[in-house]
Chains A and B, each alone.
Chain A
Amino acid sequence: MVDLLPLSLTNASVRKTGKTILGPVSLTLSGTGTTILLGPNGAGKSSLLRLMHGLDRPASGTVHWAVPHDIAHLHQAFVFQHAILLRRSVLDNIAYPLVAHGMARKPARAVAADWLDRIGLTPHANRPANTLSGGERQKLAMARALIRAPSVLFLDEPCSNLDGQATAEIESLLQEAHTQGTRLIMATHDLGQARRLATDVLFIHKGALLEHGPADRFFATPQTPEAIAFLKGDIVL
């Protein structure tokens, strides 16, 4: 796996329709493990993920990986909050990233069939992807993101609309990816999930990065009043 880290953001900000919705943010991510982005809705978690992945360009400041941007992007994947489904069968959806990068259709489908088995969707292989349930869609998106063994995987609240069973299945896929060496960077506002998965935490509020540190320290002794309130379960405005 290609080592893309450290990732460093320097005074990076994101603007949408003239309004600054994130930043300026400066941070450095390195090492292994799972980084969890925490914060209330609209805090800027998605924007930060999209900025790091390169889906949005910084309005100011810079985003730097250890390798050139194009190469870094090639070894990343992104799981969106609402799975984006191609108008194809379940199997072809999962095979798509391989085919798009030049693998022949047949071997790509063989690898995809393997993944399909792993996520338990083999019986649905030839169904149009849009007939899947919410949990199945997200598992499809996970398999599609992991099929090229990314060095870094971004996840934007992948479990926000899922029940316990589906969430557990997604989390076990994440654990597996983690042991395979994939660095996970995930936004969530599910505190339980954050505690289960995080090795370090970025706490974001109103487009500003308020805290960044190891998970155990963040959960035990949050530093800012916003983080304290958030962890207590209060409504943070």
Chain B
Amino acid sequence: MDDLWQGMIAALRLIGALDADLFEIIGRSLYVTLSATLIASAIGLPLGAWLAVSRFRQRRTVISLLNALMGLPPVVVGLIVYLLFSRAGPLGVLGLLFTPTAMIIAQCIIITPLIASIAHQALRDLWAEYHDLLISISTSRSTRIRTLLWDGRRALLTASLAGFGRAIGEVGAILIVGGNIDHVTRVLTTAIALETSKGNLAMALALGLILIALAIGVNLAVHGLSRTERTARW
């Protein structure tokens, strides 16, 4: 319990001191994870909608695969991205290893299946509801997808936030591809890992509490902006 208290006090002190390094790390965490969430949503949400409206032979296989990929181990993803972007790797010429961009790519790979799968679950029910009408109106497949994405946007927000939640707390992949370089690729989770290994538990805990507060803050902000749960709307 003592450690917890000390951590909280240290956290407050850190924030109170307006420590520039701390805010840099928080900013980078947000930049990496929000970018990854945006890109993964841009891929995953339409993919989920496409799976909801399409009927093809291997559909079940694709959905099972997607569900399996939700549990993709971040360390392995990190390793693969590392190999791809390392100097000798096929994408080595891009020089992206140990940059925030590589971290964004790794997180995208981790959360896209998660976002697509949750989106598919949500939109499948909406599609069952809309099916007859949209078939009757002779809509094209892209119109159906766009209609589902728009009318299901509140449910899709949950999918994106789940992706954000997984990415913001993720450490395995970004540690490998980012390298936890001070002022370059250090983010909250990698800083926590470092401080813990240094035995600086109070600091680690302080950063951890800030991370949790950040995750809650982003969720509240998004819900506030999109006005979910406010009125009896869909």
Residues of A bordering B, CB below 8 Å: 53-55, 70, 73-74, 76-78, 80, 84, 86-88, 96-97, 100-101, 128, 130
* Bound form: Cα–Cα A101–B134 in Å: 12
Q: List 29 A-B contacts (CB under 8 A).
A: A53-B136, A54-B135, A55-B132, A55-B135, A55-B136, A70-B138, A74-B138, A76-B136, A77-B136, A78-B132, A80-B132, A84-B129, A84-B130, A84-B132, A84-B133, A86-B130, A86-B133, A87-B126, A87-B151, A87-B152, A88-B151, A96-B137, A96-B147, A100-B139, A100-B147, A101-B138, A128-B233, A128-B234, A130-B234
* Bound form: Cα–Cα A78–B129 in Å: 15
Most buried by A among B137, B143, B233: B137
* Bound form: Cα–Cα A74–B133 in Å: 13
* Bound form: Cα–Cα A101–B129 in Å: 20
* Additional 18 contacts, C-beta under 8 A, given A55-B132, A55-B135: A53-B136, A54-B135, A55-B136, A74-B138, A80-B132, A80-B133, A84-B129, A84-B130, A84-B133, A86-B130, A87-B151, A88-B151, A96-B137, A100-B139, A100-B147, A128-B233, A128-B234, A130-B234
* Bound form: Cα–Cα A80–B136 in Å: 10
Instruction: List chain B residues, Cβ under 8 A from A130.
Output: 234
* Bound form: Cα–Cα A128–B136 in Å: 22
Residues of B bordering A, CB below 8 Å: 126, 129-130, 132-133, 135-139, 143, 147, 151-152, 233-234
* Bound form: Cα–Cα A54–B136 in Å: 8
* Bound form: Cα–Cα A101–B151 in Å: 18
In the complex, are the beta carbons of A73 and B234 less than 8 A apart? Answer: no
For the complex of A and B, the 6 pairs showing the least CB-CB separation, nearest first, are: A84-B133, A87-B151, A87-B234, A78-B136, A100-B139, A100-B143
Smallest beta-carbon distance A117→chain B, Å: 22
Instruction: List chain A residues, Cβ under 8 A from B136.
Output: 53, 55, 76-78
In the complex, are the beta carbons of A100 and B132 less than 8 A apart? Answer: no
Instruction: List chain A residues, Cβ under 8 A from B133.
Output: 80, 84, 86
Instruction: List chain A residues, Cβ under 8 A from B137.
Output: 77, 96-97, 100-101
Smallest beta-carbon distance B1→chain A, Å: 48
Provide the main secondary structure of the chain A interface. Answer: mixed
* Bound form: Cα–Cα A77–B139 in Å: 12
Give A78's nearest chain B residue, CB to CB.
B136
Give A79's nearest chain B residue, CB to CB.
B136
Instruction: List chain B residues, Cβ under 8 A from A55.
Output: 132, 135-136
* Bound form: Cα–Cα A130–B233 in Å: 9
Give A80's nearest chain B residue, CB to CB.
B132
* Bound form: Cα–Cα A31–B162 in Å: 57
* Bound form: Cα–Cα A232–B9 in Å: 86
Given the known A-B contacts A80-B132, A80-B133, are A86 and B151 also in contact in the complex, defined by CB atoms under 8 Å? yes
Smallest beta-carbon distance A197→chain B, Å: 21
In the complex, are the beta carbons of A73 and B151 less than 8 A apart? Answer: no
Instruction: List chain A residues, Cβ under 8 A from B139.
Output: 100
Most buried by A among B126, B135, B136: B136
Smallest beta-carbon distance B128→chain A, Å: 11
Give A77's nearest chain B residue, CB to CB.
B136
* Bound form: Cα–Cα A80–B133 in Å: 8
* Bound form: Cα–Cα A86–B149 in Å: 12
Smallest beta-carbon distance A103→chain B, Å: 12
Smallest beta-carbon distance B8→chain A, Å: 43
Instruction: List chain B residues, Cβ under 8 A from A128.
Output: 233-234
Smallest beta-carbon distance A70→chain B, Å: 8
* Bound form: Cα–Cα A87–B149 in Å: 11
Instruction: List chain A residues, Cβ under 8 A from B234.
Output: 87, 128, 130
* Bound form: Cα–Cα A27–B135 in Å: 24
Instruction: List chain B residues, Cβ under 8 A from A96.
Output: 137, 147
Smallest beta-carbon distance B166→chain A, Å: 27
* Bound form: Cα–Cα A101–B143 in Å: 9
Smallest beta-carbon distance A66→chain B, Å: 17
